[in-house]
Amino acid sequence: MPSLLILGGTAWLGRETAAQAIARGWDVTCLARGVSGVVAPGAELIVADRDASSPYRDVAARDWDAVVEVSWQPRHVREAAEALEGRALHWTYVSSVAAYVPTRTVVAEDAPLREPVLPDAVVDTSQYDAAKVRCELETLRAQPDALLVRAGVIVGPGDPTERFAYWPRRAALAGDGPMLVPAPPAHPLQLVDVRDLAAWNLGAIEAGVTGPVNAVGEQRAGLELIELVREVAGAHGPLVRPAADWLLARGVRPWKGADSLPLWVPDDGGPARTGFHDGTRFRDTGAVRRPLIETVRDVLAEERALGVDRPGTAGLSRERELALIAEFKRG
């Protein structure tokens, strides 16, 4: 029975990886504080605070067939990789395509990376991209044969950011009413379902895949996603499509968070941090990507169970959306 240690494992991708590994018959241990959620049934939880002293004492005394690391705090990543040096047959670090220098040309895994943060930087989300670069470097110092999973935009059921879920929820709530959608141009999207990413990662561990891999979906326009969620939700109302300048002037934020239009990045003619990454190696190493409509259906089912009219953590409230629509129509 292969042994897997997940540094994390109580939240979204880590928990999905643990659940799928258990279903494969693996022996799964998760090291976490245990405050972000509960481990998958059948997994062992070792409670540890990675900011405390000697958090890896209990896991560094064992040998592991595989370790999966998901943190983006450089010190956590460095100390774990060093503490478990020589203890793991395979090491995965979950990075991001945001580690690359922004581009408008589809790039493979040898493309230039951003300047990293300093080794001992304590980072916040504003430094996420550069922190991922530093974490890759720290991983490779102690685990030179690591698999570096440069993930695109991860979507699917259970997403704590609600970036993707906003759109099927909003389509279902809008119904035959109007729906606010940003007008083109916008940067494209490359979406990968969390379940497909976890399944590929476990297969890559079994196959001994190492080095960087762009774990991304196919490139598609944001409007394609909007059309799909409306089809699945049965929404037939009019689309109201202000230009980016109009939306930005009224405080509508791109990409994520409250008062945003999630996953929207206006195209100003410059480079982009996501949407332009070559997924050939991902496919060649066994990735199977489900149709996007399946992800939309599953997320919408989850959203309906939770309540499509509940307050969300991402996007516009329906009241704010309708107010913007009314203002736009007034000219």
pLDDT tens digits, one per residue of 284-318? 999 999 999 999 999 999 999 999 999 999 999 99
Query: CATH code at 129?
Result: 3.40.50.720
Residue 330's contacts (CB-CB under 8 Å, 6 or more residues apart) are none
126 and 88 in a common domain: yes
Q: Where does a domain end: 96, 130, 151?
A: 151
Mean pLDDT of the region 198-208: 98
Per-residue confidence at 35, pLDDT binned at 50, 70, 90? confident
- Give the C-alpha separation, 257 to 240, whole Å: 21
111 and 19 in a common domain: yes
* Domain interval for residue 305: 158-189+220-269+291-330
The answer to whether residue 72 is domain-embedded is yes
The answer to whether residue 211 is domain-embedded is no
Residues β-bridged to residue 90: 66
Residue 213's contacts (CB-CB under 8 Å, 6 or more residues apart) are 109, 147, 148, 149, 150, 204, 281, 282, 285
- CA 96 from centroid of its chain's CA atoms: 8
Q: Where does a domain end: 102, 125, 151?
A: 151
The answer to whether residue 78 is domain-embedded is yes
Task: Output the average pLDDT for the chain.
Answer: 96
pLDDT of the residue at 278: 98
The answer to whether residue 238 is domain-embedded is yes
Model confidence pLDDT, tens digit, residues 102-117 = 999 999 999 999 999 9
- CA 250 from centroid of its chain's CA atoms: 28
73 and 179 in a common domain: no
Mean pLDDT of the region 148-166: 97
pLDDT of the residue at 132: 98
The answer to whether residue 111 is domain-embedded is yes
- Directed axis angle between helix 222-233 and helix 292-306, to 10°? 60
Structure tokens at 127: 């430094």
| Domain count for the chain | 2
Mean pLDDT of the region 269-276: 93
The answer to whether residue 133 is domain-embedded is yes
257 and 176 in a common domain: yes
Model confidence pLDDT, tens digit, residues 236-249 = 999 999 999 999 99
The answer to whether residue 36 is domain-embedded is yes
pLDDT of the residue at 45: 97
132 and 185 in a common domain: no
pLDDT of the residue at 261: 98
40 and 101 in a common domain: yes
Q: Where does a domain end: 125, 151, 177?
A: 151
- Give the C-alpha separation, 256 to 315, whole Å: 7
165 and 146 in a common domain: no
140 and 243 in a common domain: no
- Give the C-alpha separation, 318 to 80, whole Å: 44
Mean pLDDT of the region 67-76: 97
Does position 331 have pLDDT exceeding 90, yes or no?
Answer: no
261 and 226 in a common domain: yes
The answer to whether residue 285 is domain-embedded is no
pLDDT of the residue at 117: 97
145 and 168 in a common domain: no
The pLDDT > 90 percentage for the chain reads 97
pLDDT of the residue at 272: 92
pTM of this prediction? 0.97
- Give the C-alpha separation, 110 to 144, whole Å: 16
Does position 72 have pLDDT exceeding 90, yes or no?
Answer: yes
Residue 313's contacts (CB-CB under 8 Å, 6 or more residues apart) are 160, 161, 162, 257, 258
How many angstroms separate the most distant Cα atoms in the chain?
68
- Cα R_g (the chain), whole angstroms: 20
Mean pLDDT of the region 66-76: 97
Model confidence pLDDT, tens digit, residues 82-139 = 999 999 999 999 999 999 999 999 999 999 999 999 999 999 999 999 999 999 999 9
Does position 34 have pLDDT exceeding 90, yes or no?
Answer: no
Per-residue confidence at 36, pLDDT binned at 50, 70, 90? confident
178 and 78 in a common domain: no
Mean pLDDT of the region 32-42: 91
142 and 173 in a common domain: no
pLDDT of the residue at 52: 92
